[in-house]
């Protein structure tokens, strides 16, 4: 570019309000002399307040900015048309500074930043300012064409040629189970600068997913060592969550939970096309989970599951004691009873639905053997007819006090259609077989709670890679384990706090549930520390550990793309 020089005397500035001047960019060579400059100004490395212009002196103009285009793929600040703006690795390294990822962050308007570099802090002259940005990162180069004062400022540290704020933004979105797409929409709505999705995926692949895998494996090994110290067989619960209902599921995650502590021991990711269909995913996930426990020398006392037929057959072949979860059996039976109650001849069934559900839970928890559970369950048919003595010696009489009924119409009438159909359902051979295997100590309702948390980390409609889906399952498990033993909230006086709820499963009935203390997110802080203090320095070992994890091939990688 052409070098331009201007020379103005002090009297010229004083006698004229405006005078012609030439502004030049940072890449231009500038030779400006002003021997009559006011020497009363003190030198400072920080911008001072701009005073009002004195009479005869031209007012300061807005700074001249050259916006730097964002080059996401190369992680550089180079301008595509100006080689003088290219920043090589050496220049990027020169911009590196100490990184404190725990520093508070603020949202700053660009106009407020421009004001800081508008005027030279030494001579109050209008400066030439060059701006470069990359995602959440922005830097300013300030140069005074009058006194040659220069200054460089950047909004965040740069480490290993990567703006720390960009990486931490990706980490915050990923580690909290958030969606980059949603975060990008929020940023666009408020015109907040954000990097592209490719950058987020690069951060995830190189740093974030290796960090998640390493922390989960470390926490998992700690839990396993703790269980080994107890030197007892463990009771576990198992259940699968599919990405969609029915036979169209593509992915399934099978979870094994330690029922005594409510901690997730293992999560297995299964893809439908690797097991011959979605109906086989639950059995395969269970097999992998039990193999994992066996490989780590954890002996299973028994397992509580749902009523899946393949699971029942597999556990019988493997010689593992199996019990059924009460809620799953009660849910299946309730659906059949609700359909029966829609019949005009069976309207009385609806009145007894809550009692029948409660009786199933009482049967499971108040019995010590399978035969006793069956005897108590069969007694329900007599109880519905207002008959409270039974032929079975294991349960000869109802446990409730003797009462005289004031409403004979609430009971089932012997020989009625309603009683015949209800008895057929309650005494079905499979129902009796499953009642005998109901667990009386532990239930897997906590696994259902974990599945609800998993929904927040791996939404069913999101398209995720296999490694991305598995890492989000690990995040959900870390969050659940950290908050598995939250206490109930109390008032200032120490009274327990409850709230009224109207759950759908209770058909709108009001129930009181305890209010737990707020969840904690220490695992996120631990992941941030691991990321910036270890993995970011040398990710090779952590990436290799992640690559060793056995994962199904992504479905889109199995399809031939048209050329």
- Position 255 in a domain: no
Largest CA distance in the chain: 121
Provide the pLDDT for residue 281. Answer: 93
Provide the pLDDT for residue 277. Answer: 86
Q: Which residues of 333-359 are buried (b: 16+ CB within 10 A; e: fewer)?
A: bbeebeebbeeeebebbeebeeebbeb
Number of Cβ within a 10 Å radius of residue 511: 12
- Position 364 in a domain: yes
Q: Does one domain contain both 34 and 145?
A: yes
Q: Does one domain contain both 498 and 424?
A: no
What confidence tens digit (pLDDT) does each residue in 269-315 have? 999 888 888 889 999 999 999 999 999 999 999 999 999 999 999 99
Q: Does one domain contain both 504 and 413?
A: no
Q: Does one domain contain both 28 and 120?
A: yes
Provide the pLDDT for residue 27. Answer: 36
- Position 299 in a domain: no
Q: Does one domain contain both 425 and 505?
A: no
- Position 31 in a domain: yes
**Percent of the chain that is helix, strand, coil (3-state, to 5):** 45, 15, 40
- Position 399 in a domain: yes
Tally of CA atoms within 13 A in the half-sphere of 431 that contains its CB:
17
Q: What are 302's strand-pairing partners?
A: 235
Which residue has 């559970």 as its token pair?
Answer: 373
Tell which of 111, 126, 159 closes a domain: 159
Tell which of 106, 125, 159 closes a domain: 159
Q: Does one domain contain both 30 and 143?
A: yes
Q: Does one domain contain both 432 and 494?
A: no
Encoding tokens for residue 271?
Answer: 């893809």
Q: Are 126 and 118 in contact (CB under 8 A)?
A: yes
Structurally, the chain folds into a number of domains equal to 3
- Position 466 in a domain: no
Question: What are the Cα distances from residue 111, in Å, to 63, 65, 182, 404?
Answer: 11, 11, 26, 83
User: Which residues make Cβ contacts (< 8 Å) with residue 380, sequence separation at least 6?
Assistant: 356, 359, 426
Provide the pLDDT for residue 505. Answer: 63
Supply the DSSP string of 198-233, one letter for each residue. HHHHHHIIIIIHHHHHHHHHHHHHHHHHHHHHHTS-
Q: Does one domain contain both 426 and 496?
A: no
- Position 242 in a domain: no
In angstroms, rounded to a whole number, what is the distance separating the alpha carbons of residues 290 and 270?
Answer: 14
Q: Are 268 and 253 in contact (CB under 8 A)?
A: yes
Q: Does one domain contain both 155 and 8?
A: yes
Q: Does one domain contain both 432 and 491?
A: no
In angstroms, rounded to a whole number, what is the distance separating the alpha carbons of residues 448 and 470?
Answer: 18
Provide the pLDDT for residue 207. Answer: 96
Tally of CA atoms within 13 A in the half-sphere of 544 that contains its CB:
3
Q: Does one domain contain both 12 and 151?
A: yes
User: Which residues make Cβ contacts (< 8 Å) with residue 440, sequence separation at least 6?
Assistant: 364, 365, 366, 367, 368, 373
Q: Does one domain contain both 411 and 496?
A: no
Q: Domain range spanning residue 399?
A: 326-436
Provide the pLDDT for residue 563. Answer: 63
- The parts of the chain modelled with pLDDT lower than 50 are 1-90
- Position 241 in a domain: no
């Amino acid at each position: 570019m052409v070098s331009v020089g201007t020379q103005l005397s002090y009297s010229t500035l004083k006698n004229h309000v405006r005078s012609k001047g030439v502004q030049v960019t940072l890449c231009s060579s500038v030779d400006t002399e002003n021997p009559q400059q006011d020497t009363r100004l003190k030198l400072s490395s920080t911008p001072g307040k701009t005073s009002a212009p004195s009479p005869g002196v031209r007012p300061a103009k807005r700074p001249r900015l050259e916006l730097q285009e964002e080059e996401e793929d190369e992680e550089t600040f180079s301008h595509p048309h100006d080689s003088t703006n290219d920043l090589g690795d050496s220049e990027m390294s020169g911009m590196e500074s100490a990184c404190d990822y725990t520093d508070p962050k603020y949202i700053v308007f660009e106009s407020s930043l421009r004001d800081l570099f508008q005027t030279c802090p030494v001579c109050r002259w209008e400066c030439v300012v060059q701006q470069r940005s990359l995602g959440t990162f922005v830097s300013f180069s300030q140069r005074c064409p009058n006194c040659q004062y220069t200054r460089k400022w950047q909004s965040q540290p740069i480490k290993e040629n990567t703006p720390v704020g960009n990486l931490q933004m990706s980490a915050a979105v990923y580690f909290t189970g958030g969606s980059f797409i949603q975060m990008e929409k929020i940023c666009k709505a408020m015109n907040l600068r954000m990097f592209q999705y490719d950058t987020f995926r690069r951060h995830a692949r190189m740093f974030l997913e290796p960090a998640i895998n390493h922390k989960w494996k470390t926490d998992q090994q700690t839990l396993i060592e703790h269980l080994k110290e107890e030197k007892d067989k463990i009771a576990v619960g198992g259940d699968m969550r599919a990405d969609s209902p029915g036979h169209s599921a593509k992915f399934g995650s099978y979870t094994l939970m330690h029922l005594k502590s409510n901690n997730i021991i293992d999560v297995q990711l299964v893809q439908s096309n690797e097991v011959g269909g979605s109906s086989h995913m639950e059995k395969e996930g269970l097999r992998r989970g039990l193999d994992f426990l066996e490989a780590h020398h954890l002996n299973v006392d028994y397992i509580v599951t749902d009523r899946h037929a393949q699971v029942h057959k597999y556990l019988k072949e493997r010689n593992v004691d199996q019990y059924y979860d009460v809620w799953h059996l009660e849910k299946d039976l309730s659906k059949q009873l609700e359909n029966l109650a829609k019949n005009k001849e069976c309207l009385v069934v609806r009145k007894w639905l809550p009692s029948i559900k409660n009786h199933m839970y009482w049967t499971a928890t108040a019995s010590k053997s399978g035969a006793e559970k069956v005897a108590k369950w069969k007694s329900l048919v007599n109880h519905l007819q207002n008959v409270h003595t039974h032929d079975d010696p294991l349960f000869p009489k109802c446990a409730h006090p003797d009462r005289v009924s004031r409403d004979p119409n609430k009971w089932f009438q012997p020989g009625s259609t309603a009683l015949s159909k209800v008895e057929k359902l309650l005494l079905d051979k499979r129902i009796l077989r499953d009642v005998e295997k109901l667990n009386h100590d532990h239930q897997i309702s906590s696994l259902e709670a974990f599945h609800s948390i998993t929904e927040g980390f791996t939404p069913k409609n999101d398209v995720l890679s296999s490694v991305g889906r598995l890492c989000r399952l690990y995040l959900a498990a870390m969050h659940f384990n950290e908050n598995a033993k939250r206490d109930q909230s109390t008032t200032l006086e120490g009274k327990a706090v409850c709230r009224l709820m109207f759950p759908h499963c209770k058909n709108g009935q009001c129930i009181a549930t305890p209010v737990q203390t707020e969840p904690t997110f220490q695992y996120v802080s631990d992941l941030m520390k691991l990321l910036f203090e270890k993995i970011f320095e040398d990710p090779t070992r952590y990436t290799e550990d992640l690559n060793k994890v056995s994962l199904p091939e992504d479905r889109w990688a199995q399809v031939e793309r048209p050329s």
